[in-house]
Structure 1
């Protein structure tokens, strides 16, 4: 009855701080992600999902020379027996192991559609078939010989290997990538022949330096080829620290078409770049005329990559064209190096090249010792049986008599010949055909061979140098299978230093055409062909209207000055066309939502501009100091900006919200590149919230010509004598002339 009583929540609840509870649980999750999902083991270079896939395929007897099996069957076995996660994730991982454009040495031999370099996904698991590749068989060689530890699977019904024996350094040969919690890994693939050469050198010289190993492993060797443009010093530094990056470019050649015509043919693209997206990007560059010297791009790829780039003119330099494309497309990428791996399957560490190779070699030595001890045990067991057989042959008539007439022949033979239980069982299980004389000779030969093998193994176990010699021989065997002597083992990625190419003046290549730029109040910008009337009626979105209209040319750089004091630069030839409503300016530059556009104008070299804030501070800035190189713009004026006007005349006229005007010489304004500036006009405190203490407008005047402003009816009024308002900079000024515009604006 007591078992049916309700549980008392107060007695069975333990209280602890929320921060501790969340911290402990998140730490458990983080450790699980790091150890069992994201980071590869330095010994076999595999993550748990890949290791389980290969082991499950081995259990299905999918040998490299055997039949293929449906991928759905393989995925199901992996999920049901070893990896209780989604079948889609398992199939994606297995498909990647079969992709020759993703793996330098594929571990799975796939049959069917396993995806392509264009970025297309593999076919469904029910349509594709797979089996183990020769490389996988090499990774699992000796798995049944107690070479590695096994552990129970997730439900305890089966056992799975903790790590594979790994006859070659798969971590470097095929690379790895993954994102854990608070750490990540990204290791490029390398040439197996070079990696084994480095291992052999490290066996011969255990205290070898990373720089020496870097001369043997020249750099990554990507399955898609390409060209690494890094110096030997940079590559050595990357391998020494375990962190860095490699610049990888597409491989191309100039194809002569005759009569002075030529085209560029790209035959290899950087690793992990999708060809379809690359071509879309190149087509976009042509459409937006960002690379005006590029006329066309075509994908003529079949089995191999062949991307054709046509120049706009025959006098274009191909090196300069490619240098321009490297900067704006994935024809050049940076592959980051972060050799963060699990040492002994337990400790995550960013390792140098030498540390990674040392972890593999130490693992190989442990595998060698365990396999040798396993073989010694097998030899001992077999020798025991052989000794029993030979005793039986020496006393064959007596053995037959005992078996024929004794009620308990086993006990009699043990007592009479001193045999062990195992030996007697083996004798009793002998076939009659094994009693021939030739069989005895074969047994003696087998015993002598086993004794010799045992002696060799024991000598090897007693001598560390002999162990390393055996490991070196095994590595050389693998090198012969997958090294440079085979077509797949040849280096695919070239390594060179980037050549100095003089950059192309893109502005000089843009066709000069007139434009009319329109910016609406809501921030939509467009460029209409030709110089249209600035007061022409245009269509805008509901609730929107014109804010700025100006004439420009396609070769111009358009400057946008905002109330946050930043200048933004837009190429006029990159603006959207005038057929629609345009595009939001804030998608082109990183203009904050609270910032308003104050001025838009074409940039002119040599000009100077007055920038001023609402607080009444300002200065003159040169055109060369306002060009922005990035979308974030360039900060020039500190404070809330009010205006930006090109410098002209010899005096500056300013007016405040208090309608007081001041005219002072232009020479009193300093020229600066950035800052708050100097006081233009002094305002009285006024008191209260309605204090007139801000600048309203400023303009430039030529003192001899006076100051003009528009009047109603299209008329203009000119105040020729400005002596009443003439003063020093930062003065208070006097009330504006009679008839001055009510909006306190000069124009």
Structure 2
């Protein structure tokens, strides 16, 4: 057969071959590397580390062993990958600032919150924690399935019994192919109480479960300031984000001076990188209220922030820091996990907890069946012992005189093969009356246990009662002390603070240049020729705007979303500036339509290509968040095209079909957001190509150099809003000849 295949070449399309291999790679990444199992919250590498450490008998009560020994067993028996990757995974399981409930207890240098690396594995030692012991509890009682290892020389668990709610308690993060997961850590006692309630009420809404577990509980503490409605929606859908801030206090000094002491920072923020970021912003003069920052941390975090003057309010100082530094950060929620059937999907909070509870019931049934089998086997042996105790002399005679004592014993006393085997192996000193009494006591206890196990296996209600008691015990076991106490404070979202009065910006004229590729910069002065300034290779001038450094600018993109930028925050200097997407979270697929200065009393007409629009006040377009604000709602295939200041009382529009329409601005409704109303009715396939506002007393200047057109000139195209319009006059469709 092999000779027939030798030299055989089969033609295959490259696209098909690549697709087949890439799908195999993607599935391997999803199933065996990046996504955790909803039942035990583990990825394969973490599961193998814990199982290998249990095999090495590294229990919480035993001594430590070198991490190199653990890593060697893991990659040699279960996980044929690089030792560095396995050691990094082991180190993270031991870091109390990275994992809410460490699964490994480390001895030696296991890194720090500053981002320092752990010592080499030959120097560090480790053993399991009580939490890991709970995850492994029952693994030797046939609680879970095992599968062959990669070399078929051993077996490894498919999933851990998971008496501890590891997925939600320790969270998870991973990036696969085409999908990712991000789950924040929570408080284990709160999870157990929510799960206990779900047993009593399987249809309990997420809002009720949140009364027991109100939100994430990060190992580094901090303050959670996300809105309750947003958190509820995130837990219901399995997608969302949580906003956290550093915890801080004011420390009073002499003569009325004060400093801010930061004692907790947001999760996964490196302290050293945070200090560098604040120092860089101070050099760039983007933190005008901060004079100095000092790191006085030991084992606990202590960052000292000094204000420039003691007259500044601490809340105002911290607000300036929260807005531009990692002292405030967002942690995303994407509960994308492998379900019990190994299928990746996004689950809501209730489904995640229910999946864990279902797994715990399966584990309970399997362990009970395993124990019942052991009890029945022991009872069988004890019944055989009791049978021979009544006829010890006959047993001794058969053993002494019989050529085949085993079958003779089975025939004489109606023993099974197992009973006869144990009778033959019985020690002579056990042949006494006292031993018979002990056997009867053991049998009675086992019969009682057997009845209890059979009752448990035959009643679903009893099983869930048992699981409920286990949850209460887990909550008590891991809910007390420094490990179990909630670390992250949950607070109401802070009220907006106006920083304009505190941060004094010198008023000066600026000209903002925006290139076609989206690079923005501010140049001092007005009346500047944009063409005289250089742009990056392949880029060119796009838009310009004259403003003052104290003003705010509004940016409209083609998706109908608006963003607010402060002129003072725009990059200065002779360079090319900065990508505007660094300053605001603009969607990559959308283009910038225009930008303008926000005026408290100003109004603009927002319109789409399809001819729909509305009047919006400038104050309603101000967006404090980097993500902006959706103002103009669009249908599929439509785009925002116009943002025109309301400087008159009349509107004139023109479609691509060269039909124009003029009507009063008052006919357009004023709205804060929405789809708007029809401005000009356009045939299918046509679009709005021009929209202008003018004053009826001053007239309309359509082309530069033309005389103003009066209402009489516009009589032919004057109509009602939403009309189709009339053929545009020639002075609108034809540009005047240039004067040389």
- TM over 0.5, shorter chain: yes
Matched, 1:335 2:331: yes
Q: TM-score, normalised by structure 1?
A: 0.73
Contact 1:568 1:589 in 2 (8 A): no
SS at match of 2:261: strand
Matches for 1:372-451 after TM superposition, within 5 Å: 372-451=368-447
Contact 2:237 2:347 in 1 (8 A): yes
Distance change >3 Å, CA 300–CA 392, structure 1 → 2: same
Match of 1:486 among 459, 463, 481: 481
Query: Which 4+ runs in 1 deviate beyond 4 A?
Result: 2-6, 510-519, 523-528, 551-560, 567-577, 586-591, 602-607, 623-632, 674-678, 728-736
Q: Deviations over 1:494-525 (max 9, x none)?
A: 1111121322017x634749999999xxx999
Contact 1:119 1:276 in 2 (8 A): yes
Q: How far off is 1:555 after superposition? A: 6.7
Matched, 1:106 2:102: yes
Contact 1:151 1:160 in 2 (8 A): yes
Q: How far off is 1:14 after superposition? A: 5.1
Q: How far off is 1:401 after superposition? A: 2.0
Partner of 1:464: 460
Q: Deviations over 1:204-255 (max 9, x none)?
A: 2222222211111111111111111123332222211111111111111111
Distance change >3 Å, CA 589–CA 142, structure 1 → 2: closer
Q: How far off is 1:554 after superposition? A: 8.1
Distance change >3 Å, CA 198–CA 66, structure 1 → 2: same
Q: How far off is 1:95 after superposition? A: 1.0
Total equivalences in the alignment = 635
Q: How far off is 1:325 after superposition? A: 1.5
Matches for 1:237-636 after TM superposition, within 5 Å: 237-483=233-479, 485-505=480-500, 509-510=503-504, 512=506, 583-585=575-577
Contact 2:94 2:103 in 1 (8 A): yes
Contact 1:589 1:631 in 2 (8 A): no
Q: Deviations over 1:620-655 (max 9, x none)?
A: xxx9999999899xxxxx99xxxxxxxxxxxxxxxx
SS at match of 2:217: coil
SS at match of 2:288: coil
Partner Cα separation in structure 2 for residue 132 and residue 469 of structure 1: 29
Q: Which has the larger radius of gyration?
A: 1
Contact 2:336 2:345 in 1 (8 A): yes
Match of 2:10 among 9, 13, 27: 13
Partner Cα separation in structure 1 for residue 620 and residue 170 of structure 2: 49
Contact 2:512 2:547 in 1 (8 A): no
Query: Which consecutive residues of structure 1, in runs of 5 or more, have no partner in the other structure?
Result: 535-539, 541-546, 561-566, 592-601, 608-622, 633-637, 640-673, 679-694, 699-727, 737-743
Match of 1:151 among 147, 155, 161: 147
SS at match of 1:509: coil
Partner Cα separation in structure 1 for residue 249 and residue 427 of structure 2: 73
Matches for 1:18-37 after TM superposition, within 5 Å: 18-37=14-33
Q: How far off is 1:461 after superposition? A: 1.0
Contact 2:161 2:360 in 1 (8 A): yes
Partner Cα separation in structure 1 for residue 31 and residue 301 of structure 2: 38
Partner of 1:692: none
Distance change >3 Å, CA 438–CA 14, structure 1 → 2: farther
Distance change >3 Å, CA 341–CA 590, structure 1 → 2: closer
Matches for 1:609-688 after TM superposition, within 5 Å: none
Q: TM-score, normalised by structure 2?
A: 0.73
Q: How far off is 1:101 after superposition? A: 0.8
Q: How far off is 1:7 after superposition? A: 3.0
Q: How far off is 1:588 after superposition? A: 7.4
Q: Which deviates the most, 176-185 or 365-374?
A: 176-185
Contact 1:119 1:274 in 2 (8 A): yes
SS at match of 2:333: strand
Q: CA RMSD in A?
A: 5.1
Matched, 1:39 2:35: yes
